[in-house]
Structure 1
Amino acid sequence: MINQYFFHYLVFSMNLSTNNVSVLQLNSQPPTIYEILRFALPLVLGLVTNALMNLTDTIFMGWLGAAQLAAIPFAAGIYLIGWILMVGIMRSSISFIARLFGAKEKHKIGSILFHYQLLAIMGLPLLLLYIQSFPIFSQLAQLSPMVAEYAWSYLQVLVWGTAFTLLLILYTSFYQAIGNSTFPMYISLIVLVINVILDYALIFGKWGMPALGVAGSAYATILAQAVGAFVMLITLISAENRQQFHLRYWQRPDMNLLKQIFWVGFPQGLGDFTELIAWVGLSVIAGRLGDTALAANNIGMQFTLVLFLPGLALGITAASYTGRFLGENRPELARLTTYKILSIGGLYMGILGIPLWFFGAEIARLFTEDIVIITEATYVFKVMALYQLFDCIGIIIRATLNGAGDTRIPTLFLLACILIVMFPLSIIFSLFITPPLMGIWLGTFVYMVVLAMLMLYRYRSNHWVTIQLETRAIMV
């Protein structure tokens, strides 16, 4: 439990961070590399912290037994498929908030937050309806009755935390949009610590808590994220913030504003959803090659999930700067900043490719001693070393376009590349290249190259400069 002194400290710290946000205000020059890294590094740490939460849950489930270990990642994956669409909508708030902040129309931000909060709350009934499809997933995966029971028990509890998780993402996006990435990082650390403590207490029945097993893990996640969302909300509604951003507890919903939020946010969420399904589909293709190929593929996938986090952080950084510079009507500075961020990302990915190319076998040995799996995973790492730069370009440019409110065409490009390039080439290459798993990942490599070129083409068309977000009629 957060004691009174700690709570007051958090509120005091947050008041300092919002009152002093002027130090992050944009000027007539693009940000320096140091300023970009100072903004991006807390984002990376926050994303890593979120990944550690999932890892912690998996470790505790392994202590319970094999059935629980099989059930929880499966149930979490099903939840993620439906949840990630709403996450994309929440993250689209950066487009509106950053632009209003850059335009010095902070008093309109409260109305934007209110409408996004409505959508976050609406996420709960939508996810409750979605998880009723669990029996279909269970039958497709041919789960044993015990694993299915554990998975369903976990999913039934986890879904009730939907509003808390979405609000936490929304408030995190708010601070990122106005140039503050440090406070959300602290909140992520707090959520992680609470989650680990409650996991141990509620799963195994420690410190007088009931031993709830798999359901305890779900309760721990909900409670930890609820605390994070609550702390962020309390700091947001301090007197000065309410005045500065014109925050309100209630207003009459503006259907035109909700329509535009959906028009911008839904394609962004759909793109995230599509990309997730694409990687799941890639695993399905690899699974058809046998257990060895699937194991090697999973090793590569685990590294992909970690390696893209700095690229995602740089993408969020570019989106925030782009929105604020567009609000100031200075797209040329937005462009210079994006190219500078691309150079940072390219350098990071290029350096990262060196150990992947030369030490792939050593990395694979961290997971297994099977020489066949190690050999196939080594080929996967070599392909990953080749596509790192293009993956970086695709992630950063797509996030930048989203930050400008350009979400529909980039999402169409993503869909087209997955359906026309990624899946067909992965299947065809796996038939003619040995080992077949390398063929699958070479198809992914071509997909990364094509997608990066299309995103660059869209960015260089300058359409994102002309996009107008209808915020003039917002009620204040």
Structure 2
Amino acid sequence: MFFSSLRARWGMPNGYRDVLGVGLPLVISMASSTVMQFTDRLFLSHYSVDAIAAALPAAIVNLLFLLFFTGVAGYANVFIAQYCGSAAPARVGAALWQAIHFSLMGGVLLALLWFVAPFMFSFAGHPAPVVRLEVIYFRVLTVGAVFMLLSSALSCFFSGRGLTRPVMVANIAAMIINIPLDYALIYGAWGLPELGIAGAGIATVAGWALTFFFLALATFTRRHDAMFGVLRNWRFERALFLRMMRYGLPSGVNYFFEIFAITFFVFVIGRLGRVELAATNIVFSIDSLAFLPMLGLNIAVSTMVGQAIGAGKPDAAGTAAMNTLHLALAWMLCIGVMFIIFPGVLLDMFRPQDVSVQEYVPIREAGVVLMRFVAFYCLFDALSLVFFGAVKGAGDTYFVMWAMVVGCACMVAVIVIMRLWFDAGLIALWVVLTCYAVALSLSALLRYRGGKWRSMKVVETVRRSPDAGPC
């Protein structure tokens, strides 16, 4: 009975096969990005304990701003999906270009953060050597962030149409270049200078630039211009841009507060001590191996829901969401079991060269306990990723934004109270983080089950052209 049900769900429209067809290349793409980040932190953890202590806070603060802009630009994915579902491929190019215009503006604004970096990281209260490295790493990432934003916009042209292999190929190519470049620039090899944490940042930016280059070549072709207007529709369209901002800005704010919560958490942990900060940074780095690939399924379910809503088929959207959830839970369950059974093996991969086995013992012991928290809440992360992705694919971005804002505010308030009045330590703060993850997942589940998303749509009503080609 069980296996016959699996077979039925595999072959049905928007079943497991369709979800994997759209989602697996995106999962591999996200896994490629995760491997690049993992490699950064693995090499830096062996380079020095200060480098790995600085890498995660700097990377998270960069993401705090970067993901706001990618959240807005990346919402072009839903517009393109709904235009395709509505059989209006001629509008795809216009939607893509509004995301490109926004990405260019965002790249300029992010580069200006160069000047405020020293103030931001000195405010955290981390040791002076760590602050200096945080500023260096952050500045390199923000100056090169425009390539990441443009790549996010261009990837929507493919993911919104459910054709995700070009995105996968571009990200794999970037990973292949990034890993050896990472090693060479951090340690100084093959004639390149030893740049330490700055080298890690330069290698990451090079990966972003290469991804943008590949996606641009694949996007701006005469064939795509004839079908979707990717070249001729380059102009700024005020009405379409403002509509994209209406739905995309809440998505950006959602990402901003999601990362802000983690950033605040890491900065508070940093005030507890070097051991607590290093253990938390390492565990988050390992957790990213499980969590970030699932963002591929988040994009996939938004795409499939968007296409179904554009076609006026909310039941098909619901089928896609539930089948995506099954796959996400299966992945997270496997990851959670691995985190419980093999925490020491994973943690030992991050022991810095300048830390002896004896000195690493307290970091390792703390990390083993924290890995159990991750193993528990990763299942709830799957619920959040799938159900928030589903309702955003229909256009329900304001609820997702407010759920994230309220959840973040509550978590920050509880952490401040526990630190100021109860002198809470590492374990108590991780309990708060876990409760935050569980609360978000429950809000996502309740909103999805409420069904309001079924009657939403983000694109204008376009008359179906009988001779319009498929997306």
TM-score normalised per structure 1: 0.82
Alpha-carbon distance, 1:406 to partner:
1.2
2:376 paired residue among 363, 372, 386:
386
CA shift digits 1:443-470 (9 cap, x unpaired): 2232222222211121122221222324
The more displaced of 215-224 and 265-274 is: 215-224
Distance change (3 Å), C-alpha of 1:451 and 1:223: closer
2:313 is aligned to: 330
Residue 459 of structure 1 aligns with which residue? 448
Q: Is residue 101 from structure 1 mapped to residue 84 from structure 2 by the alignment?
A: yes
CA, structure 1 residues 220+392, in 2 after alignment: closer, same or farther (shift >3 Å)?
closer
The equivalent residue for 2:279 is 296
Among candidates 387, 397, 404, match of residue 394 of structure 2: 404
> Relative to 1, partners in 2 of residues 1:426 and 1:374: Cα closer, same or farther, differing over 3 Å?
farther
CA apart distance, 1:132? 1.8
Letter in 1 for 2:388: R
Query: Following the alignment from structure 2 to structure 1, what is the Cα–Cα distance between the partners of residues 96 and 116?
Result: 31
Report the equivalent of 1:45: 28
2:31–2:293: 8 Å Cα contact kept in structure 1? no
Matched, 1:167 2:150: yes
In structure 2, the gaps of 5 or more residues are: 1-10, 352-356, 466-471
- 1:181 aligned partner: 164
Q: Quick check: 2:46–2:350 contact (8 Å CA) kept in 1?
A: no
Q: Is the 8 A contact 1:177 1:320 kept in 2?
A: yes
Percentage of identical aligned residues: 26
Q: After TM superposition, give the deviation of residue 109 of structure 1 in Å.
A: 0.3
Give the C-alpha shift of residue 269 in structure 1. Answer: 1.3
1:468 corresponding residue in structure 2? 457
- The alignment of Structure 1 onto Structure 2 pairs a total of residues equal to 447
What pairs up with 1:307-346 in 2 under 5 angstroms? 307-346=290-329
| Structure of higher RCO (CA pairs closer than 8 Å, 6+ residues apart) | 2
Does the alignment pair 1:261 with 2:244? yes
Long gaps (5+) in structure 1: 1-27
Does the 8 Å contact 2:344/2:368 carry over to 1?
A: yes
Structure 1 residues 229-238 or 313-322, which shifts more? Answer: 229-238
Matched-pair contact (CA < 8 Å) for 1:423–1:443: no
- The amino acid of 1:247's aligned partner reads V
The answer as to whether partners of 1:422 and 1:443 remain within 8 angstroms in 2 is no
Q: 1:113-170: per-residue Cα shift (whole Å, max 9, x none)? A: 1111101111122112233211212422457777666655555554443322211111
2:186–2:194 Cα contact (<8 Å) kept: yes
Q: Counterparts of 1:216 and 1:436 in 2: how far apart (Å)?
A: 34
Equivalences for residues 3-402 of structure 1 within 5 A: 29-58=12-41, 75-141=58-124, 152=135, 155-199=138-182, 217-249=200-232, 251-360=234-343, 363-364=346-347, 366-367=349-350, 370-402=360-392
CA contact (8 A) 1:426 1:444 kept: no
How far apart in 2 are the matches of 1:284 and 1:65? 20
The Cα of 1:349 is off from its aligned counterpart by 2.3
| 1:58–1:72 CA contact under 8 A, matched in 2 | yes
* Contact residue 426 and residue 442 of structure 1 kept, 8 A: no
Taking the aligned partners of 2:284 and 2:134, their CA distance within structure 1 comes to: 22
Partner residue, 2:469:
none
2:339–2:371 Cα contact (<8 Å) kept: yes
The residue number in structure 2 matching 1:25 is none
**1:247 match: secondary structure:** coil
Instruction: Kindly state the Cα deviation for residue 392 of structure 1 after the two structures are TM-superposed.
Output: 0.9
The SS at the match of 1:240 is: helix
> Given the alignment of the two structures, is residue 417 of structure 1 paired with residue 417 of structure 2, yes or no?
no
- Per-residue CA shift, 1:364-383, capped at 9, x if unaligned? 45556555444443332333
